């Protein structure tokens, strides 16, 4: 019996690939510098039995239907943002995912963005590389204080709580807005105080976004919300890009209605507004939330665990559409 064919959209940890190669014919797109264009993704799907996709890959109906013999999509996603799950289910294709194991890494990058934009670290690095040294007590690169300031967390789940723990090390005041208010004992544990969304926006020196992307949270931050923020406040987004109306953010920054932004995600990712790119008070990273060697290796092994289970006719570790599995096992 021939081995199943697996197409991997970008390189993943070699230790995980070695496990996969032991049971399957594996083709890996070797270019890790860019998202695979749709036509090349479709071409890869036509050559495989199982697609191993990453978070940035858009697996729509065209991709899923490109190969009538496609057996499964094993995704490194925690959520289904870029996968047409309805189409996959209709076509009888199981779509596996990974559990929520990126909490600490995402909280780290969120606090890194906060520090970088407030203290103008990236801007200072860029100028120094250009030979500019204003002097150690010059106000040329003076930024905003972080210690003792108010951090507003929009969404207080796993990542919001992890960021709160980090912020306490900087003696920050923690306020949060979430439809599900914590019990008083849990609020005390985090040193956090509940606020309405509008109250939080008006009070916080740093607004960090952590909601799940739903129809209700799309453009959660728009003209009205930016108008409620302090002109000295910063917005940080490590959740999902469409939570922010990017055009409204550009206007708020251009008109100095807020002080700056730290972004790891974008509304039309991987595209980003050229105006944001040009602004020195904006720190931009290319969706680095889970970009930690050890974590990415662990994520890759979970994806391979799912593929091995499917090959061996066992239920995978986790699956977006388990109803499809009922027909297979």
For residue 27, list its beta bridge partners: 7
Active site residue 210: no
Active site residue 269: yes
> 56, 120, 287, 296: which is the annotated catalytic residue?
287
Q: Return phi, psi of residue 151, to 5°.
A: -105, 120
CATH topology of domain 5-101+292-325: Rossmann fold (3.40.50)
The b-or-e profile of 114-148 (16+ CB within 10 A means b, else e) is bbbbbbbebbbeebeeeeeeeeeeeeeeebbebee
Helix or strand run (H / E) with residue 209: strand 206-209
Nearest of 74, 150, 129, 105 to residue 264 by alpha carbon: 105
Domain boundaries along the sequence of the chain: 5-101+292-325, 103-284
3-state SS class at 166: helix
Judge if 5-101+292-325 and 103-284 fold alike in CATH terms: yes
CATH topology of domain 103-284: Rossmann fold (3.40.50)
> 210, 240, 267, 296: which is the annotated catalytic residue?
240
For residue 8, list its beta bridge partners: 28, 52
Active site residue 301: no
The CA dihedral of 292, 296, 297, 301, to the nearest 10 degrees, is 160
Low-confidence stretches of the chain (pLDDT beneath 50) = none
> 123, 203, 267, 269: which is the annotated catalytic residue?
269
């Amino acid at each position: 019996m021939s081995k199943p064919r697996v197409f991997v959209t970008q390189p993943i940890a070699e230790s995980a690939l070695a496990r996969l190669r032991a049971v399957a014919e594996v083709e890996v797109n070797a270019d890790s510098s860019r998202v695979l264009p749709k036509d090349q993704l479709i071409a890869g799907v036509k050559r495989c039995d199982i697609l191993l996709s990453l978070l940035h890959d858009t697996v729509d109906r065209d991709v899923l239907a490109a190969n009538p013999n496609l057996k499964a999509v094993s995704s490194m996603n925690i959520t289904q943002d870029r996968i047409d799950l309805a189409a996959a289910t209709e076509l009888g294709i199981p779509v596996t995912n990974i559990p929520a194991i990126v909490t600490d890494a995402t909280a780290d990058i969120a606090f890194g963005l906060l520090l970088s934009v407030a203290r103008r670290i990236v801007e200072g690095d860029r100028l120094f590389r250009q030979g500019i040294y204003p002097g150690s007590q010059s106000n040329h690169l003076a930024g905003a204080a972080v210690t003792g300031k108010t951090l507003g967390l929009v969404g207080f789940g796993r990542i919001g709580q992890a960021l709160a723990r980090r912020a306490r090390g900087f003696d920050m005041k923690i306020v949060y807005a979430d439809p599900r208010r914590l019990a008083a004992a849990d609020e005390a544990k985090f040193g956090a105080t509940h606020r309405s969304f509008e109250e939080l926006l008006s009070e916080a020196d740093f607004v960090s976004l952590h909601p799940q992307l739903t129809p209700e949270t799309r453009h959660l931050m728009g003209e009205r919300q930016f108008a409620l923020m302090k002109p000295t406040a910063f917005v940080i987004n490590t959740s999902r890009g469409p939570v922010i109306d990017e055009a409204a953010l550009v206007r708020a920054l251009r008109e100095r209605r807020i002080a700056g932004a730290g972004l790891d995600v974008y509304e039309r990712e991987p595209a980003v507004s050229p105006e944001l790119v040009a602004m020195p008070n904006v720190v931009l990273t290319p969706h680095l939330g889970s970009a930690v060697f050890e974590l990415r290796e662990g994520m890759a092994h979970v994806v391979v665990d799912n593929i091995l289970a499917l090959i061996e006719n066992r239920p995978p570790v986790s699956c977006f559409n388990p109803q499809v599995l009922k027909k297979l096992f």
